[in-house]
């Protein structure tokens, strides 16, 4: 995965200057996110829209921002200098509080960050855009310093300028805006390193950040060889200087008294053998006791400085050999200064050290390949670091380059530590090593190995490490994260990631796609899709069976399968109005119904029981006013229900002659007149009285018609009626 450096800080704190130079030095891409907000501000001004209303920013959808060769292009037009005006600066701070603006730009920024090693500067890089950046820096400086810098910068670029006071006010206002907005305010990330640049040079800041980058284990293969060496030397020499300072005072004294300023311990020098002195036993002369002396070689350097070489410090000499066998007066020899004594005594020389230096020289290329070495701790070196042994080589591990320095380092003596060489120090015949680098290197190797092996379909118990609106990042192996998109969390709709997952949760996920180092994960792929499974072979119109969960005012809830619930609205229960659901069903009963609506996105299922049978009203042939025979099907409180051609109608008591009401019983076939028949609304009312009246009228009419044929006068007609 790419390396990310996040630099945040208030306006004019030097972010972009530092980020740009650092990017060049480390060979990273640089993304100036502030310029993106500025570009949007410029477009806002150009469009002349009311920018106090966030709803007016839908133009973002059709806006492109590109970077090329340190220039920024808005919708394809180079706006590099236009975005630096005071008006754009101020407006960029105002519009950057809008959610639509931030969402759009943050998405673009993340997209860019995924592609390359990147340094990004802004306000929310460490907190929002790149929460997992390898290094986060928070740059700051006093507002006066920043204002002065901004003035100088504008002057240099011949841009419009304000007074120092006005610039201070401008910055203060922007600081306030940027730090107090609701969404992603300017804030130092918890794990960011604060650098106050007020009294620092640009180079000082760059050097400091570079050393932090290296310390975090950035693989230096990407840097030019020259750079690598310099950086390491700087870092280590800083550490070493501390140690040197501690030794400092006493060394200076010794240098003065011995006048040996030109020499250092461990230095390799050339000399001539003056004399090979024999061993001497302890002697007494008078009261004076002369200590026993070992055999030794007196060697003199070019400037007259002298020193001894003892057998134990002599390389390539066999046990049964004497120094006499190896050295002859006048021999030229190369020796290392093993010890310079404070009291003015002569030096102590060693050829063992010279041999070791040569061996180190021979192995230098190996160390410079930076392998991971397992070394054994030998001892601590004052408050400075640990001396380790790898094969026959001495390694120095400064405490600052240890991962976890225990309170009592002496507990580490005899134990092994994995380290990576940083620099071969030939002068001191040792290798400076870093444990931090070894750990990072191992992680990187593990990660690489993991990525080379991981396959689509593999399942992991991952850990949620970050939560975003669009999903969660899940760590599936050390340092390897994949995206669990919100749509992949569950088969059921997830409205908010944090409702289901929290940082630190363990979650079972499956790799569903691999694109370079981008891993896409799914949680739902491992979960039973009850809904999907249920509807796999079902469609609208199918008949299904379920269990009544409960009956409420609106209808019946039916449990169809696990996580699948259907609903029968009351209007879909029966074709007949007087059928009461409660009379026929209770919770727990089995019910069969037809699927009449399935809304997958909302997980809504509507069922109909009545549609299992045909609508009986559909086929009834009857008209209002018609006289028909109906069968009384029930006697109810204020009338009778009657049936006719499979449908049910109602006849109230008032529509039956009072003297007949009590005679009517279930099963009777009675003549009625249709008062209302509404096929749509399924309303059917009949009346016996109306039928009788109608029939009476018809009788009279019929009689009149028959009499009309015989009589011609109205008097005859009346007389006939009277008869
Ligand atoms: O860094 P700059 O001054 O060019 O940024 C201009 C404005 O953009 C700044 O006032 C706040 C806003 N900004 C932001 O909100 N988030 C970022 N990551 C970068 C800039």
Separation CA 110–CA 133 (nearest Å)? 11
Protein residue closest via CA to atom 14 of ligand 1: 123
| Closest residue to atom 18 of ligand 1, CA basis | 122
pLDDT tens profile 113-129 = 877 889 999 999 999 99
Q: Give the CB-side neighbour count of residue 705, counting CA atoms within 13 A.
A: 6
- The bridge status of strand 543-551 relative to strand 555-561 is antiparallel
Q: How far is the CA of 485 from the centre of ligand 1 (A)?
A: 28
Model confidence, pTM: 0.43
**363-367, 578-582, 699-703: which has the highest mean pLDDT?**
363-367
Which regions of the chain carry the CATH code 3.40.50.300? 4-215
CATH 2.40.50.140 correct for 454-515: yes
Which atom of ligand 1 has the smallest separation from the CA of 120?
A: 18
Report residue 254's pLDDT band, with 50, 70 and 90 as the boundaries: very low
Q: Verify whether ligand 1 is closer than 6 Å to residue 34 (CB atom).
A: yes
Chain region(s) in the chain for CATH 2.40.50.140: 223-249+259-282+293-350, 357-440, 454-515, 530-612, 624-674+685-693
* Distance (Å) from CA 123 to ligand 1 centroid: 6
Using CA atoms, how far residue 73 sits from 183, 241, 584, 660, in Å, is 26, 48, 72, 96
Asked if residue 575 lies in contact with residue 616, where contact means CB atoms within 8 angstroms, the answer is yes
Would you say residue 231 has pLDDT above 80?
A: no
CA of 8 to the centre of ligand 1 (A): 10
357-440 CATH: 2.40.50.140
Residue 211 near residue 235 (C-beta atoms within 8 A): yes
At 553-562, the pLDDT tens digits run 999 999 999 9
357: left (phi over 0), alpha (psi -120 to 50) or beta: alpha
What is the reported pLDDT for 245?
A: 33
- CB 93 near ligand 1, within 6 Å: yes
Tell me if 33 sits within 8 A of 56, measured CB to CB: no
The protein residue with its alpha carbon nearest to ligand 1, atom 13, reads 34
Q: Kindly tell me if the per-residue pLDDT of 486 is higher than 60.
A: yes
> What residues pair up with 544 in beta bridges, in sequence order?
593
Question: Can you tell me the distance from the alpha carbon of 636 to that of 156, in angstroms, rounded to the nearest whole number?
Answer: 100
57 CB-side CA count, 13 A: 20
* Average of per-residue pLDDT values in the chain: 87
CATH number of the 223-249+259-282+293-350 domain: 2.40.50.140
Structure confidence at residue 238 (pLDDT): 36
Q: Whose CA is nearest to atom 5 of ligand 1?
A: 34
Which residue's CA is the closest to the ligand 1 atom numbered 11? 93
Q: How far is the CA of 122 from the centre of ligand 1 (A)?
A: 6
Between 66-80, 303-317, 358-372, 697-711, the lowest mean confidence (pLDDT) is in 697-711
717 confidence band (pLDDT: 50, 70, 90): low
Rounded to whole angstroms, the Cα distance separating 421 from 360 reads 13
Q: What is the mean pLDDT of residues 391-401?
A: 90
pLDDT digits (tens, 9 = 90+) for 2-46: 789 999 999 999 999 999 999 988 888 899 999 999 999 999 998
For residue 236, the model assigns a pLDDT of: 36
Pocket test for ligand 1, best of 11, 44, 97, 122 (most atoms within 8 A of CB): 122
Q: Give the DSSP per-residue string, 557-611.
A: EEEEETTEEEEEEGGGT-SSTT--HHHH--TT-EEEEEEEEEETTTTEEEEESGG
In angstroms, rounded to a whole number, what is the distance separating the alpha carbons of residues 59 and 429? 66
What are the CA-CA distances from residue 198 to residues 13, 143, 149, 166, 656 (Å)? 8, 9, 10, 20, 105
- Ligand 1 midpoint to CA 6 (Å): 14
Q: Is 146 in the pocket of ligand 1 (CB under 6 A)?
A: no
The predicted structure's pLDDT at residue 40: 96
User: Which of 19, 37, 127 to mutate to test ligand 1, by most ligand atoms within 8 A of the CB atom?
Assistant: 37
Band (pLDDT 50/70/90 cuts) for residue 715 is low
Fold of 4-215: Rossmann fold (3.40.50)
pLDDT of 709 reads 63
How far is ligand 1, taken at its centre, from the CA of residue 33, in Å? 7
Residue 367: other Cβ atoms inside 10 A: 21
pLDDT over threshold 80, residue 382: no
pLDDT of 303 strictly over 60:
yes
Give me the half-sphere count of Cα atoms (radius 13 Å) on the Cβ side of residue 533: 11
Q: Which fold has domain 530-612?
A: OB fold (Dihydrolipoamide Acetyltransferase, E2P) (2.40.50)
Contact 684, 647 (CB under 8 A): yes
Distance 130 CA to ligand 1 centre (A): 15
Task: Give the list of residues 6+ apart from residue 707 with CB closer than 8 angstroms, or none.
Answer: 717, 720
The model's pLDDT over 528-541, given as tens digits with 9 standing for 90+, comes to 999 999 999 999 99
> Given this model, what pLDDT does residue 391 score?
95
User: Which is the closest atom of ligand 1 to the Cα of 33?
Assistant: 19
Q: What integer is the mean pLDDT of 701-709?
A: 80
Q: Which of 110-119, 407-416, 537-546, 645-654 has the lowest mean pLDDT?
A: 110-119
pLDDT at 472 exceeding the cut of 80: yes
- CATH T-level fold of 624-674+685-693: OB fold (Dihydrolipoamide Acetyltransferase, E2P) (2.40.50)
Distance of CA 93 from the midpoint of ligand 1 (Å): 6
Tokens of 125: 């890089």
Ligand 1, atom 9, residue with closest C-alpha = 93
Q: Is the pLDDT of residue 389 over 90?
A: yes
Evaluate: CB of 123 within 6 angstroms of ligand 1.
yes
């Amino acid at each position: 995965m790419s390396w990310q450096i996040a630099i945040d800080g208030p306006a004019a704190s030097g972010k972009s200057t530092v980020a740009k130079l650092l990017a060049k030095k480390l060979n990273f891409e640089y993304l100036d996110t502030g310029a993106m907000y500025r570009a949007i501000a410029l477009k806002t001004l150009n469009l002349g829209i009311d920018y106090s209303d966030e709803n007016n920013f839908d133009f973002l959808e059709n806006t492109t921002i590109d970077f090329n060769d340190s220039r920024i292009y808005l919708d394809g037009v180079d706006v590099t200098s236009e975005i630096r005006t005071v008006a754009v600066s101020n407006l960029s701070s105002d519009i950057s509080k809008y959610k639509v603006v931030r969402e759009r730009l943050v998405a673009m920024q993340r997209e860019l960050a995924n592609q390359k090693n990147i340094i990004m500067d802004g306000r929310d890089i460490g907190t929002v855009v790149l929460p997992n950046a390898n290094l986060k820096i928070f740059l700051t400086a006093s507002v006066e310093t920043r204002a002065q810098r901004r003035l100088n910068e504008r002057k240099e670029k011949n841009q419009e300028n304000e007074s120092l006071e006005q610039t201070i006010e401008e910055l203060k206002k922007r600081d306030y805006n940027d730090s107090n907005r609701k969404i992603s305010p300017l804030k130092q990330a918890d794990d960011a390193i604060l650098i106050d640049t007020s009294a620092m040079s640009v180079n000082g800041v760059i050097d400091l950040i570079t050393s932090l980058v290296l310390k975090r284990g950035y693989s230096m293969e990407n840097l030019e060889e020259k750079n690598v060496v310099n950086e390491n030397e700087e870092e280590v020499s800083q550490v070493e200087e501390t140690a040197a300072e501690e030794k400092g005072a006493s060394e200076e004294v010794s240098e003065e008294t011995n006048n040996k300023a030109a020499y250092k311990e461990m230095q390799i020098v050339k000399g001539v053998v003056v004399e090979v002195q024999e061993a001497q036993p302890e002697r007494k002369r008078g009261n004076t006791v002369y200590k026993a002396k070992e055999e030794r070689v007196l060697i003199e350097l070019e400037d007259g400085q002298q020193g001894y070489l003892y057998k134990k410090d002599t390389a390539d000499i066999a046990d049964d050999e004497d120094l006499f066998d190896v050295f002859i007066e006048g021999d030229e020899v190369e020796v290392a200064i093993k010890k310079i004594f404070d009291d003015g005594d002569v030096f102590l020389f060693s050829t063992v050290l010279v041999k070791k230096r040569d061996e180190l020289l021979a192995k230098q290329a190996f160390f410079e390949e930076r392998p991971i070495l397992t070394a054994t701790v030998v001892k601590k070196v004052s408050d400075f670091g640990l001396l380790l042994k790898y094969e026959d080589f001495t390694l120095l591990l400064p405490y600052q380059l240890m991962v976890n320095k225990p309170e009592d380092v002496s507990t580490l003596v005899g134990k092994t530590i994995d380290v990576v060489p940083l620099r071969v120090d030939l002068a001191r015949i040792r290798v400076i090593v870093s444990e931090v680098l070894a750990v990072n290197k191992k992680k990187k190797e593990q990660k690489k190995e993991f990525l080379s092996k991981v396959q689509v379909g593999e399942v992991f118990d991952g850990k949620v490490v970050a939560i975003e609106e669009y999903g969660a990042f899940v760590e599936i192996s050390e340092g390897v994260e994949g995206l669990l998109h919100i749509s992949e969390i569950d088969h059921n709709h997830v409205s908010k990631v944090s409702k289901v997952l929290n940082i630190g949760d363990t979650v079972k996920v499956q790799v569903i796609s691999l694109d370079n180092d981008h891993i896409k994960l799914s949680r739902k792929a491992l979960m039973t899709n009850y809904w999907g499974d249920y509807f796999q072979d079902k469609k609208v119109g199918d008949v299904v069976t379920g269990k009544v969960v409960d009956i409420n005012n609106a209808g019946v809830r039916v449990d169809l399968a696990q996580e699948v619930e259907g609903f029968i609205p009351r209007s879909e229960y029966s074709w007949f109005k007087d059928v009461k659901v409660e009379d026929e069903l209770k919770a727990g009963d089995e019910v069969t119904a037809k699927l009449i609506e399935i809304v997958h996105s909302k997980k809504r299922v509507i069922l109909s029981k009545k549609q299992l049978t045909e609508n009986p009203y559909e086929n009834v042939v009857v008209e209002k006013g018609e006289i028909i025979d109906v069968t009384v099907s029930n006697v109810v409180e204020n009338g009778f229900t009657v049936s006719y051609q499979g449908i049910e109608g109602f006849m109230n008591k008032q529509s039956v002659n009072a003297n007949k009401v009590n005679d009517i019983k279930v099963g009777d076939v009675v003549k009625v007149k249709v008062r209302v028949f509404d096929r749509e609304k399924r309303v059917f009312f009949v009346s016996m009285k109306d039928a009788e009246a109608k029939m009476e009228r018809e009788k009279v009419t019929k009689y009149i018609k028959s009499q009309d044929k015989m009589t011609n006068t109205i008097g005859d007609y009346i007389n006939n009626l009277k008869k």
